Amino acid sequence: MIYVENNSTNPYFNFALEYYLINEKDLKDDVIFMFWRTNPTLMIGKFQNTIEEINEDYVKNNNINVVRRITGGGTIYTDMNGWQFSFITKNYNGNGIDFKTFTTPIIEALKSQGIDAYFNSRNDLLVDGKKFSGNAQCVKNGCKLHHGSILFDTNIEEMVRSITIAEDKIISKGIKSVKDRVANLKNYLKEDMDSLKFKDIMLESLLKESSGVYNLTKEDIKRVEEIAKEKFETWEWNYGKSPKFEITKGKRLDGGKVEFRINVDKGIIKECKINGDFFGEGEIDDISSLLCGCRYNKKDILDILENIDINKYFYRVNKEELIECII
């Protein structure tokens, strides 16, 4: 096993690096390992609907990254006080999903620090009955990618607020609920340490039998940055890959109730029906027609609404209220 040193905290770069090591780079070793972290980020599973998973306003207002993985599983929140690990196995000839093989070294490393971690038989690692790690994997071009998360001292409030669209009172209950179900490993270590010290002790255990360390070259970094820009930073990958879905949203406003029923496919509005007991002089189908073909995101919808006399179609409704009925 060879360890690839990666100090980037950019999630788009880090997922692009995995992609690069799988598809383009030959390090003359059948097993590649990385241990990395990111700025605040929501990592979306390959088959998930990004729009339904995130609190878009909170995410944008708090500069939280959104990136889709090439693996399945659910959405996770990561920040600078959490860690990710990646195993890339070249020339893989196994069959089916196998989480235990790749999580066992993590468990053993933690046990050496007095943490009684264990695998829950699905895809999570637990301590004291609480989850601290989720795992996902895929096989691509004869390579198996397994990556997982480790909660060390992650901000649980940010996690709940960025994923859950809810009232503050519901969020507060959600934070308590999550705290009851997940664990930050910092609370289980006998020695007080920061996240970088935690990385050091984990690597000391995990790399005992490694064949060495590979440091990325300027050429590697340039190519990985290209992949990040071409794939992992794009709206088409992070939002457009969302499966087809239908959504109904609406609000009761001063001008009456306004409800939008929208069909979205690959992130694009394909059909839009507007209902309610509001008043208006314009043909409401004009609004539906303008929205069809638009990306289902706040910025693109606002760009369309900028050129519309909202009050002509929705009496006593302003643009900001209308957008809340759509997305």
Find the mean pLDDT for residues 161-175: 74
Residue 220 has which token pair? 């590697």
Q: Confidence band (pLDDT; 50, 70, 90) for 170?
A: low
Find the mean pLDDT for residues 155-178: 79
Alpha-carbon distance 171 to 279, whole Å?
Answer: 35
pLDDT at 16: 98
Alpha-carbon distance 207 to 145, whole Å?
Answer: 18
The whole-chain average pLDDT of the chain stands at 92
Alpha-carbon distance 238 to 75, whole Å?
Answer: 12
Find the mean pLDDT for residues 52-74: 92
Q: What is the pLDDT of residues 262-315, one digit of tens each?
A: 999 989 999 999 999 898 888 999 999 999 999 999 999 999 999 899 989 998
pLDDT at 206: 95
CATH code linked to domain 2-238: 3.30.930.10
Question: What are the sequence ranges of the domains in the chain?
Answer: 2-238, 245-324
pLDDT at 167: 67
Record the pTM.
0.84
CATH code linked to domain 245-324: 3.30.390.50
pLDDT at 65: 98
Dihedral, CA atoms, 212, 218, 224, 226, nearest 10 degrees? -170
- Residue 99 makes CB contacts below 8 A (sequence gap 6+) with 119, 122, 123, 135, 137, 146
Q: What is the pLDDT of residues 204-232, one digit of tens each?
A: 999 998 889 999 999 999 999 999 999 99
